[in-house]
Structure 1
Amino acid sequence: MKYRDTASIAALAAGLCTFAQPVLAQTAAAMATTGSEAEAAAAAATADQTGEAIIVTGTRVTGMRAVDSPAPVQILGVEAIKSTGQPDLIQSLAQVLPSVQAQAFGGDLQAHNLQMKLRGLSPNHTLILINGKRRHGTANVSVAGGPYGGSAAPDMSFILTDSIDHIEVLQDGAAAQYGTDAIAGVINIIQKTADHGGTVNVTGGQYYDGGGKSYAISGNVGFAPVENSYFNITAEKKHKGFSFRGDINPNVYGSSAAALKNLAAYPDIVDAPFYPYVNRIEGDPEIDQTSVMYNAGYEFGDFEIYSFGSYGHKYAHAYENYRTPSVIVDGDGTPFYPSGFQPLEAVHETDYSITGGFKGALGDTTFDFASTYGKDFVGVYVENSGNAQLYADTGFTPTEFHNGDFKASQWTNTLDLTHAFDVGLSQPVNVAAGLEWRRETYGIVDGDPASYYGGGAQSFFGYSPNDASDNSRTNFSQYLDVSLKPTPDWLVDGAVRHEHYSDFGDTTVFKLTSRYDFSATFAIRGTVSTGFRAPTLAEGFYSGINVAPSGVFGVLPANSAAGAALGFGGLKPEKSTNFSAGIVFTPSSRISVTLDAYWIEIRDRILISSSFYGFNGKYCPEGYSGSNASQCVAYSADNYFTYNQQAVFDAVASALGGTIPSYVLTDTLTGDRNIDGQVAVQTFVNGADMRTRGIDFVANYQMPTSFATIDWTFSANYNENKVKKIAALPSALYVNQTDPSATAIIDKYRVVELEHSTPKFRASLSAYLESGWFSMNLRENFYSQVYALESTPGNSSLAGADLKVPVNSAFITNLELSAKLTESLKLSVGANNLFNTYPTKRSYQYIRSAQLASGSRGYSSNVYPSISPYGINGGYYYGRISFNF
């Protein structure tokens, strides 16, 4: 932990509390004159907290309250989201809902598009809706591995908080109701429909220990162009700066042999920016983003024409690993960058969506016809870099490269019908039916030739014409949903859905839900459902190579001939079964408690595979006698052939045009085998059968006091992931006889990520108090331990051993204090991670000391595990000015 600013923060909090005490006393006395306004605010809060609000998610019945839902639905008001102080919606959801985990750090292109997951499953298992309509996914599929590998879910950073009225989170499998990929649940974002008034918010903040300076300017306004209409529009401009949480680079600083050699050969290294902290990859990228969203409608009689949409542009760039001057030299050995260089991976992303619809009632039948088109376009660039082979061959290299583009689109057309039939039961039987036709596309556009010439642009090999592709598919589905009450206290809801994919054929899934109310205060509920998720087009067709300072890593398309040559076949769909059961307890209008247990089985889950090696320098051949032989892992045939597979080497070399860059294989200073060099390949596979089970608990209490009502919320989630079965390894690849798990299609390191990178226990206790012009939101979050499994360096005292790398359990405190200066003007100050808690560092004894001694660049970039559920940056403080009109 770091507490550098704790004293000043504590002093500030104490001062604010001291200042607030007389104000609270005055407010208590004034409540008699402001009773009607206070009661109205309290009533609205109570509706959300105790479930009185009407929901549209998880049911096709009109007018159902959250408290009466047969499935667990959480309602989040916009104020609850804003009070988290988080710059992005994903982080806000993770603060409020323990079952949501937000990705805190991403490598390579993942850094620009952080994802979220529900109940520990893949981001691809949660369906995102805007006003009940499916949101398109990102074109920037995650191929960097880790627990978020393969994710291509919607980019939530383009959804603006100020446009939101509330969010409904269905924490239950809903494939039969909304689409066969809603295995973990549904997040339905409901936009504002106000036809008057608005708000302007200005927010700024940064991390306690430097970096991450951010600001956001947003505004929302509603008006009525004509009578019986509304047009609500929101715009936002935001910026987030770099952060750095790495360490010195012992490859160019200190007394290691590598540093001494580099400094002797290239003395200008000391002039590199930030020296000796030249390797800046461990930290946040810099992001500039502009977004607009609107929601509009016109009502006439029993009908409404509506439309909503969004447009956003993001420019972001992230530091990659530092390169020494030796990486790019001319024929005489003169470096292109005398002090080395720090490449940046950048994206220019444009994301937009538009929906048009017509809904209303014809007699007792309601209808809703809508069409939605969404597209995401990501231009990929490398800045402050170079192409080593191009420079050696021609004496010229660009310093900036256009590496290629990703593009993805989705066009969805839906018709939903509902009709209530009176058949003599306690209530009419509600029947809903609908049709959906959807077309999806995904493609890769090749980059500048210089980006993929020879060894390619440093830090990111460009996409060549061999990688380029255009892919599409269509889907047609029909659903039927019947809800009835055999008795006044017993609700039964059944849904069935049939889908036909142009590339995967047909499937039928179902859901059966029931709830029984024993009294006005106690009910039980349960669900059984099935799901089917077809691979995203990106999972099936992504192709690319990444060139690191001492490695080449390839991702072969799952549907490619190269993948087939190694024994990988095309992907098949995932199938799932979901069981849940729970209780609802509402002993009074101020108290509500829900407890829901779930059990999810996923078969043939799609994962990014283990890395299969064509070359791994530290696994030296028998009899190797180079000057660095002592750094080799003790020879065994199993180890050598596991990490030096000729078939993999040839596949990657072919993707690079026939050769592997020489510096990957050979140390450029000594001419010996490059101990840090690696050549590896991955692909997407149906890698495992998995089981997820857990419990969600939520309790709300509206506590009256002499000066205000305090809204208490305690929510908790226990979640356990288990890999039950790993798919067989293709026969073309080598199987390690001593340790078959080392060559498994999903290796032991990936298994540990899947099972232990999500906290098994998450809890959040929040207290919200509003009295007069003062309000406070205090939230205490608890994260249980997570951990990864890593192999120790070859020169460690535990050389080559597997070591548990934990992020120990932690309490994280968030606090926001607000003062309403006038009826329209509000000032807020707050802190996320108030006490500046950092995750557990990697072991110095078994990992970092060995890296330091050998001069490994890894020492500078792996201080904190990236799986930390609360990030690696420590505390963040902010201020916000809000103006309502």
Structure 2
Amino acid sequence: MLRTTTVSAFALAVACLSANSAYAQTDPSADTDQSDIIVTGTRVTGITVAESATPIKVLSSEQLSSVGQPNLNQVLTQLVPSFTAQAFGGDTANLTLSARLRGLSPNHTLVLVNGKRRHGTSNLAVLGGPFQGAATADLDLITPQSIDHIEVLEDGAAAQYGSDAIAGVINIILKKTSEGGEAMFTAGENYETGGETYAGSLHLGTKIGEDGFINATVFHRFHDFTQVGGLDRRVTDANGVLLSSLSAAQKALYANIPGFPYVNKINGDAKSHLTNVQANAGYDFGDVELYANATYSKRIASAYENLRVPDRVIASSVLGVGGTLGAAGSIVFDPDGDSPSNGFSPREGIREDDWSLSYGFRGEAGGFTYDLSTTYGQDKNLVYTLDSANRSLFIDTHFTPTTFYNGSFKATELTGNADFTYALEAGFAEPVTIAFGAEYRKNTYAIGSGDSASIYKEGGQSYPGFRPSDAGWHSRENEAGYLDIAASPIVGLKLDGAVRYEHYSDFGSQWIFKGTGRYDFTDTFALRGTVSTGFRAPTLAESYYSATNVSPTSAFVQLPANSAAAKLIGFQNLEPEKSTNFSAGFVARPVDRLTITADAYQVKIKNRILGTGSIFGSGGATNFAVVTQAIVANGNVLDPTVSQTGINIFTNGADTRTRGLEVTASYPTDLGAYGRIAWTLSGNYNETKVTKVKAAPTKLTPTGSTTPIALFDLATISNLESASPKFKVIGSANWSLDSVSATLRGTLFGKSSNYTSPNGGTYYKQEIPTAFLVDMELGYDLTSFIKLSVGANNVFNKRPPTVALVPGTTNNTLVNGGNVIDAPLTFSPYGINGGYYYGRVTMKF
């Protein structure tokens, strides 16, 4: 239900539509101007979007501000067809949502800020799904209001930028204004599902002396929980009626659970407070320019996990013995002290501190241009379990804390770059650009252990702490050098070739290359294409993440991939993923102001890093003694009562092939007295196939068999092949007339699907059908410096289907261990929360 504050914001803005004003308008044609100079994907200066030999999109600050949610992930997913934002994450991944290009891993996209590599998050997405393994840069920590424009290179570029640039590069260019500023406030909410959001920012620019500038942006956002569904199969049937199988005592307690019958809050957004502070500065001394930018972010967030029913945590009057509901002397854990107990909903929380500093100087000397820089970034998360209980501790001592410190993640990245270019006159149509340089990078990753209560037996309900056997500090260094030569031998022909060498301290060396060509047959038609090889180094989090989940009778370990314990089973250290990219396309300008581009592409990736399913040492359908031995070798101490053991691990598991097509068209229209319209249409078709699945180590061969077990099931394969829509098309019209503006945007999502199993044996296909979503925004210039806007993303409140029930059952979902009967399909490409409605006030000065 929409809150009064949001409705009031709408009413205020709509009422002001009758006022007279003259807020300065931006020509909508500027949003799609093909004359924008780009700096991404080329070392040649002065290249425009229309002249680029590789597919690239430029998003202006005006376009970025036309999206309602104050979140850069959401901005990009609504403007770039090949970009998909994560709708929901499991465990701590729900606190730092990720995104991906071309249906590939989030780790396959390199993020730059002002052309310099941005560090990644320390919060690894561990659980299975389309975004598993993500530890890339967190775009939510860059404030949209601080951005001048974004260049999205949709092409492999590892030979130019190094590891990760397999799917493409997102280069965020910060504002450089030396005067004035902008203040923004927005409020909004999702229809029926909650998610009340308030955000405000202040951006200022000022001169430093005669030839310098400094920009500063401060941003804060509050976002409340959303809840989608909530009928719990342990409490009610699909109609919200208490289960007949419950005892009278259970019914009395379960009916008292807050929110009944929608009692399980796990499916929804996290609640968060996010503060970003950013600065960008430079000073031109003539031959030398000094520059720097810095960011700091603080995020405090928590997300609900599965409901714990009222009789989940019960102790006997005798220490060390569990109790039962209604038994004499039983002690029921009652966190609220409002006997009778109504259960509890634990939350996973983080306190995150993230900062970066990039500085350097560039200039010209002896005919060379140079750019020398250093960049450092750090992300640290303190992890908590909130409003929870340690069941074993309560049974053993009749006491449990309700807040647990689970430990910490910390990742750092230090990068040094030296880049040089030289323009050589060779008698060609244009000077030959020779670019070369070197890079040094050092990464570290650390896990800190939790408090004693968080690691006592199974730890806090929903998320146990990290044990001393999980904790550790790891590092890696790499050095790189590159050579890039761009030439135009004859008028209309552009050729560019790059080669790069990288050496990593933990897995050796890589040689990669890229070749690019473009020929303009006329002023209105050109062909272009690229061929390249690339690679992605495994993140240190993928290589060394370790976690332990135990109970009095079981022990499961996320085994570090690069550990001695993993090698005991036969797993080897993670290797880099290797890619081969091809693309070919055209640029056409058939009539004045109309620009059309189309590019077909293929990306082959070998040794993709995937997470396995559970591999049992004991207590499973198929067991291997070496697994239990590996758990012990990892430093885990197994209680004699443990009867079930198992591991999960990241490994180089599959080869894939991705083919697709990207098309864009833009056309500004001048209607004279009726205003101007900027029309854009862009689309992406994308299909990924798994071409090879790697075999498990021979030590995982069941007795009586000659082949090892399968490490990856249908669910894992479908997350690679079909969990992203095969096509996505975005059409928009931006109209303006004097002080009034309007944006209408429609997005067509193709169907997506995945397989799931309620028991690990029988698999069912779940599908999200083709969907069309509409976004709208109306703007009015109240004065020459105040603009009011109201709008809606997903106007008609489209939501994905819910998880299906197991055939023949009334409240068992297809999700293994899934408790929410009416849970949404969380791999939805357009989110799970439905429509978002907002108002915004912008003041420029």
Q: Against the structure 1 CA distance between its residues 97 and 124, is the aligned structure 2 distance closer, same or farther, given a 3 Å change threshold?
A: same
Indicate which of 709, 715, 728 corresponds to 2:695: 728
* In 2, Cα distance between equivalents of 1:101 and 1:855: 23
Matches within 5 A, 1:854-873: 858-860=818-820, 863-873=823-833
Matched position secondary structure for 1:68 = coil
Q: How many residues were matched structurally?
A: 819
Partner of 1:668: none
Structure 2 unmatched ranges of 5 or more: 318-322, 324-330, 335-340
Indicate which of 397, 400, 410 corresponds to 2:400: 397
Matched position secondary structure for 1:846 = coil
- Does 2:128 align with 1:162? no
Indicate which of 567, 570, 574 corresponds to 2:573: 570
Q: Return 255-264 or 114-123, whichever deviates more.
A: 255-264
- Does 2:794 align with 1:833? yes
Partner of 1:874: 834
Q: Deviations over 1:833-853 (max 9, x none)?
A: 10011112222472872418x
* In 1, Cα distance between equivalents of 2:70 and 2:704: 50
Partner of 1:131: 114
Q: Against the structure 1 CA distance between its residues 720 and 435, is the aligned structure 2 distance closer, same or farther, given a 3 Å change threshold?
A: same
Give the superposition deviation at 1:679.
6.1
Partner of 1:624: none
Indicate which of 505, 522, 527 corresponds to 1:524: 527
Partner of 1:675: none
CA contact (8 A) 1:46 1:52 kept: no
Give the superposition deviation at 1:276.
3.2
Structure 1 unmatched ranges of 5 or more: 617-639, 666-677, 795-799
Indicate which of 541, 545, 548 corresponds to 1:545: 548
- Does 2:324 align with 1:324? no
Q: Against the structure 1 CA distance between its residues 201 and 414, is the aligned structure 2 distance closer, same or farther, given a 3 Å change threshold?
A: same
Matched position secondary structure for 1:451 = helix
Q: Against the structure 1 CA distance between its residues 232 and 51, is the aligned structure 2 distance closer, same or farther, given a 3 Å change threshold?
A: same
Matched position secondary structure for 2:37 = coil
* In 1, Cα distance between equivalents of 2:12 and 2:365: 61
Indicate which of 770, 794, 801 corresponds to 1:809: 770
TM-score between the two structures when normalised by the length of structure 2: 0.91
Give the superposition deviation at 1:709.
1.5
Give the superposition deviation at 1:184.
0.8
Partner of 1:585: 588
Matched position secondary structure for 1:327 = coil
* In 2, Cα distance between equivalents of 1:135 and 1:259: 55
Q: Against the structure 1 CA distance between its residues 847 and 732, is the aligned structure 2 distance closer, same or farther, given a 3 Å change threshold?
A: farther
Q: Return 358-367 or 289-298, whichever deviates more.
A: 358-367
* In 1, Cα distance between equivalents of 2:815 and 2:568: 38
CA contact (8 A) 1:455 1:660 kept: no
CA contact (8 A) 1:829 1:879 kept: yes
Give the superposition deviation at 1:656.
5.8
Indicate which of 530, 535, 538 corresponds to 2:538: 535
- Does 2:263 align with 1:283? no
CA contact (8 A) 2:612 2:649 kept: yes
Give the superposition deviation at 1:612.
2.5
* In 1, Cα distance between equivalents of 2:837 and 2:635: 47
CA contact (8 A) 1:525 1:582 kept: yes
Give the superposition deviation at 1:397.
1.6
Q: Deviations over 1:447-479 (max 9, x none)?
A: 102111111121111101100110001111011
Q: Return 605-614 or 748-757, whichever deviates more.
A: 605-614
Name the amino acid aligned to 1:780.
Answer: G
Q: Return 728-737 or 323-332, whichever deviates more.
A: 728-737
Matches within 5 A, 1:375-386: 375-386=378-389
Matched position secondary structure for 1:317 = strand
Give the superposition deviation at 1:552.
6.2
- Does 2:184 align with 1:201? yes
Indicate which of 45, 51, 74 corresponds to 1:91: 74
Partner of 1:790: 756
CA contact (8 A) 1:455 1:661 kept: no
Indicate which of 506, 512, 516 corresponds to 1:513: 516
Give the superposition deviation at 1:47.
4.9
Give the superposition deviation at 1:861.
5.8
Partner of 1:598: 601
- Does 2:503 align with 1:500? yes
Indicate which of 677, 691, 716 corresponds to 2:683: 716
Matched position secondary structure for 1:428 = strand
Matches within 5 A, 1:752-791: 752-791=718-757
- Does 2:236 align with 1:270? no
Give the superposition deviation at 1:386.
1.5
CA contact (8 A) 2:656 2:692 kept: yes
Indicate which of 123, 132, 150 corresponds to 1:149: 132
* In 2, Cα distance between equivalents of 1:359 and 1:263: 76
Q: Deviations over 1:513-537 (max 9, x none)?
A: 0000000000000000001211111
Matched position secondary structure for 2:716 = helix
Indicate which of 158, 161, 174 corresponds to 2:157: 174
Q: Against the structure 1 CA distance between its residues 595 and 739, is the aligned structure 2 distance closer, same or farther, given a 3 Å change threshold?
A: farther
Matched position secondary structure for 1:67 = coil
Partner of 1:244: 227
Partner of 2:320: none
Indicate which of 273, 290, 301 corresponds to 2:286: 301
CA contact (8 A) 1:390 1:453 kept: yes
* In 1, Cα distance between equivalents of 2:706 and 2:590: 57
Name the amino acid aligned to 1:438.
Answer: R
Name the amino acid aligned to 1:336.
Answer: F
Partner of 1:824: 785
Q: Against the structure 1 CA distance between its residues 528 and 660, is the aligned structure 2 distance closer, same or farther, given a 3 Å change threshold?
A: farther
Partner of 1:689: 655
Q: Against the structure 1 CA distance between its residues 238 and 861, is the aligned structure 2 distance closer, same or farther, given a 3 Å change threshold?
A: farther
* In 2, Cα distance between equivalents of 1:547 and 1:651: 15
Partner of 2:216: 233
* In 2, Cα distance between equivalents of 1:475 and 1:404: 28
Q: Deviations over 1:551-572 (max 9, x none)?
A: 8653110012332233322111
Name the amino acid aligned to 2:791.
Answer: G
Partner of 1:746: 712
Q: Against the structure 1 CA distance between its residues 466 and 551, is the aligned structure 2 distance closer, same or farther, given a 3 Å change threshold?
A: closer
CA contact (8 A) 1:251 1:855 kept: no
Q: Against the structure 1 CA distance between its residues 214 and 553, is the aligned structure 2 distance closer, same or farther, given a 3 Å change threshold?
A: farther
Q: Against the structure 1 CA distance between its residues 793 and 751, is the aligned structure 2 distance closer, same or farther, given a 3 Å change threshold?
A: closer
- Does 2:86 align with 1:107? no
Name the amino acid aligned to 2:827.
Answer: I
More helix by share: 1
Give the superposition deviation at 1:717.
0.3
RMSD, aligned α-carbons: 3.0
Name the amino acid aligned to 1:270.
Answer: A
CA contact (8 A) 1:250 1:855 kept: no
Matched position secondary structure for 2:410 = strand
- Does 2:333 align with 1:336? yes
CA contact (8 A) 1:279 1:861 kept: no
Identity %: 44
Give the superposition deviation at 1:68.
0.5
Matched position secondary structure for 1:460 = coil
- Does 2:621 align with 1:641? yes
CA contact (8 A) 1:297 1:305 kept: yes
* In 2, Cα distance between equivalents of 1:480 and 1:138: 30
Q: Against the structure 1 CA distance between its residues 739 and 861, is the aligned structure 2 distance closer, same or farther, given a 3 Å change threshold?
A: farther
CA contact (8 A) 1:459 1:549 kept: no
Name the amino acid aligned to 2:802.
Answer: K
Q: Return 443-452 or 731-740, whichever deviates more.
A: 731-740
CA contact (8 A) 2:478 2:503 kept: yes
